[in-house]
Structure 1
Amino acid sequence: MSHSRDTMVKSCPMNGGDDEYSYTKNSMFQKETISAAKEIIDKEIAQKLDVKNPLFASSSSSFRIADLGCSVGPNTFIAMENVIEAVKHKSLPPKRPYFAAGVPGSFHYQLFPTSSLHFIHASHALHWLSQVPNEVVDENSPAWNRGKIFYLSAPEEVGKAYAAQFAKDVGMFLDARATELVSGGMLVLIIGSFRNEISPSHTLASVLFDLLESTLLDMAKEASLN
């Protein structure tokens, strides 16, 4: 992806369909996370979503929800159903009509009009970067990640390059959402993390990715020999 809005953004969607390699059949962890977060989100909506705030109520006669970074399959519908049910208990009439729309574009930039959304949800999406850090693909950079797919055993500069890119992307994401949310609206983010005192090399995800990298590199070498 590019940081310029004038440049076409490369799309890398998940596998569609419902076969064994589809995202639908390989996103149980994401689904369970959405279910686990339901109680917390319900509580926050009940306690903090200020639908009676004059600025909030005057923004529109409609209640607008966005699920950013949603992939293919049923997970986004489950997440949005949970949000709608929670908001119903707060303010929405039970027989109110609902309309859905898909909006293309990168969530690192503004996607919706200013002060147009009342609730924004993003689950297991914000870890995707807008682009590979330039330093990682620059042969003259100490962060050049030659012959590597993952950063675990790469030079320290590689990890720092990815961390800097992530910080920049998160800043862009939050700036865009701050513009889109109405006063009194709510933003819910679900994203994987680990505590500062835990080394990345000690996390299960890192071990699995390191193993995957080794496997892919071996396959690439075998293909080049053939």
Structure 2
Amino acid sequence: MEGEVAKVCPESYAMKGGEGPHSCAQNSASQRSSIEAAKNFLQSAIASKFDLRTICASSTNPICIADLGCSTGPNTFIAVQNVIEAIQIQCPSQQNHNQATPEILVFFNDQVSNDFNTLFQKLPPNRNYFAVGLPGSFYGRLFPRQSLHVVHSSAALSWLSELPKELTDTSSGACNKGKIFYTNAPKEVFDAYERRFKMDLEAFLQARAQELVDNGILACLILVADDLIDFSVDMYAGKDYELLGSCLMDMAKLGLISEEKVDTFNIPTFFPHVKDLMKIFEANKDFSIEQSELIDNKGFLAPNIESHVSRLRAVLEVLIEKHFGDGIVDELFDRFTEKVRAYPEVLDALKFKFHVLFVVLKRKVVIKA
């Protein structure tokens, strides 16, 4: 509904907080490499598509920027600064000489369980913007109508709002018994994930369409699979989850955890094929696609096994503890480390048939009756 505000989703998936060795703050180099690789594309898009003159002339309010899925690491500050620099470059060329440089307000958003304390302890002390934290799911409304000028999101849209219920329904063909992801699973499992992702992305776009001003910019970095990938056999990013699932099953067979717990645990992420993702964007009536670029995944190369394992642990530790309880994480990732040693191909991100898609959308002008 048009005036609907954000709803609390049934699940809240947050990265590992704090600043410990397995925290998101210490394990976000791969995401940072994508943000840095997209910097020139982002700044070029804002320079050519963002109409600063019109915005400044129509209001004395600040320029409002939102980073959705900010997590706790430094990457969100890098992304936000890239946006701000692109906007400020326009100021001398687009503004009248008697017009002041507009003030900038940045909203940092993530789930309610996100470690905002660590995030704000790391705020750049000499920042050139005002900062606000906003907890809540971005799959619903978060902001007043037409209040945002630029929205940025990096890697967060891979996370589903909730898992498809069919995955744990023993009467369903999509029941994912003995597995925790859709790799090498029945086609019905992949289809269930795909449907949920499509519903979530459409909800995301619908919410942003209400919150962005006319001609406002939405820039996203999204992990995508190569169009030719076969999820049942090909090496790709989900192979880690397949190995982790086998570790959980090993622990269940030893009686360390219950097999029922494993059968009801699934990773709530999805990596769409490029063509399927673009079809969703193309079908949307509220946005025009201004730019799309595939960025290579060289930044996802881990320097060693320990670093690779720690990255995955930062992403999944909270989720695993929430489902299985405290006390299994250390042993689980010790076992996972040994599996990676026996299957070192997972360290070579260049073999993974996936990319990062950088896409820029512009909010179409709403024609008032």
Render the CA deviation track for 1:140-183: whole Å, top value 9, x for unaligned.
Answer: 11111112101112111010000000000000000000110001
Counterpart Cα distance in 1 of 2:212 and 2:60? 12
- What's the offset of the Cα at 1:194? 1.9
Matched with 2:307 is none
**Aligned partners of 2:49, 2:196: CA distance in 1, in Å?**
32
Q: How far apart are the structure 1 equivalents of 2:7 and 2:49?
A: 38
- Gapped regions of structure 1 (runs ≥ 5): none
| Separation (CA, whole Å) in 1 of partners of 2:16 and 2:162 | 20
Aligned mate of 1:134, from 152, 159, 165? 165
Shift of 1:78: 1.0
Check the 8 A contact 1:67/1:122 in 2, yes or no. Answer: yes
More strand by share: 2
Q: In the alignment, what sits opposite 2:248?
A: 216
Amino acid at match of 1:217: M
> What's 1:108 paired with?
139
Counterpart pick for 1:202 among 227, 234, 237: 234
Return 5+ residue gaps in structure 2 as ranges: 93-99, 104-127, 259-369
- Which residue does the alignment assign to 1:84? 84
Question: 1:61 maps to which residue?
Answer: 61
Per-residue Cα deviation, 1:56-82 (whole angstroms, up to 9, x for no partner): 752552100000011012111111111
Secondary structure at the counterpart of residue 102 of structure 1: strand
Structure 2 vs 1, CA of residues 180 and 147 (structure 1 numbering), >3 Å: closer, same or farther? same
| Alpha carbons 2:17, 2:23 under 8 Å: kept | yes
- The residue identity in structure 2 corresponding to 1:214 is S
Question: Are the structure 2 counterparts of residues 213 and 85 from structure 1 closer, same or farther at C-alpha, using a change threshold of 3 Å?
Answer: same
Q: Which residue of 2 aligns with 1:162?
A: 193
In the alignment, what sits opposite 2:178? 147
Distance 1:86 1:103 in 2: 24
SS of equivalent to 1:172: helix
CA distance in 2, matches of 1:18, 1:157: 39
Q: CA deviation at 1:90?
A: 1.3
Checking the alignment, whether the CA contact within 8 Å between 2:179 and 2:185 is kept in structure 1 is yes
Q: Deviations over 1:22-51 (max 9, x none)?
A: 111111100111111101001101111122
Aligned residue for 2:47? 46
Q: Structure 1 pair 172/95, CA: closer, same or farther in 2 (3 Å)? A: closer
Q: Distance in 2 between matches of 1:174 and 1:198?
A: 26
Task: Find runs of 4+ consecutive structure 1 residues off by over 6 angstroms.
Answer: none
Alignment of 1:90-101 (within 5 A): 90-91=90-91, 96=103, 98-101=129-132
Pair 224,169 (structure 1): closer, same or farther in 2 beyond 3 Å: closer
Note the C-alpha offset of 1:18: 1.6
SS of the residue corresponding to residue 148 of structure 1 reads coil
Instruction: Name the CA shift for 1:47/1:110 in 2 (closer, same or farther; >3 Å).
Output: same
Q: What is the CA–CA distance in structure 2 between the aligned matches of 1:27 and 1:8, rounded to whole Å?
A: 25
Q: Structure 1 residue 134: deviation in Å?
A: 1.5
Q: Residues 154 and 221 of structure 2 are in contact (CA less than 8 Å); yes or no, is this contact kept in structure 1? A: yes
* Distance in 1 between residues matched to 2:8 and 2:239, nearest whole Å: 35
Matched residues in 1 for 2:172 and 2:102: separation?
59
CA distance in structure 2 between the partners assigned to 1:57 and 1:178 by the alignment: 22
State the Cα distance separating 1:203 from its structure 2 match: 3.6
**Offset of 1:216 from its aligned partner?**
2.3
Q: 2:175 is paired with a residue of what secondary structure?
A: coil
For residues 7 and 33 of structure 1, do their structure 2 counterparts lie closer, same or farther at Cα, with a shift above 3 Å needed?
closer
